[in-house]
Amino acid sequence: MSRGEVHVLFPFPPHMPNIGIVMLQGSREAHAQALYQASKLLKINVVIKELRTVGDLNDSDLAAVVIPGGESTTMRKVGGHEGTKILPEIYKIIRKKPFFPVLATCAGAILLADPQDGGEPLLQAKVERNAFGRQVDSFFGEVQVAGSNESANCAFIRAPRFTAVSENSGIAFLKGEPVGIREKNLIALTFHPELSETSIFHEMLLSSAISNTGGDQI
């Protein structure tokens, strides 16, 4: 096992998609644990790859990527053209392979909606930064998952807000307001599902990765 690589193994069929976690900011270990739980529930094995550089991205044969939350301005600087350059490379992959699965949470959703790399937005949805308030206004809210009876108490930490979403794209709602959307295989959430007790959004990502095998992999 190489540095920055974790194999999640269960007595399931041997297919193991590689799932990358962008290691810029945010609850990266919590995302890894949520992927672990999701893989167990879906009865698949996965390999979790830590993505720190463009080299990590290019060498990983990835089936899906997680972009955790954090502070979007800092993430742009650290992961952008003046830093590791990993974010512009991910944007290129998404534009080249529009069905490539991505889970972007909080600041990750901001980056997809407004990549600021000279190219078109990666989401049709519009996002407003810090729209739920400042850090002191952070809260836990009951999020309802579309198409199911499942809900989860999720963390909204200096959370952004969708100001416009495409029709039928909503997958998660807070008091009727869309706080999670899905466009093709891009899942964007304004909250932190990795800090809740549900892994349903990570299950969605892994299901897309499995069904997309042989398609838009890196």
- Of 124, 75, 66, 76, give the one whose Cα is nearest residue 100: 66
154 catalytic per annotation: no
81 catalytic per annotation: no
Place of tokens 């029709």: 167
- Which one of 106, 120, 154, 197 is the catalytic residue? 106
Q: Which H or E element spans position 88?
A: helix 86-96
- Which one of 31, 50, 194, 202 is the catalytic residue? 194
- Which one of 192, 197, 202, 203 is the catalytic residue? 192
81-60-9 Cα angle (round to 5): 135
CA distances from 55 to 51, 58, 160, 189, 202 (A): 8, 5, 30, 27, 25
Which positions are catalytic? Answer: 106, 192, 194
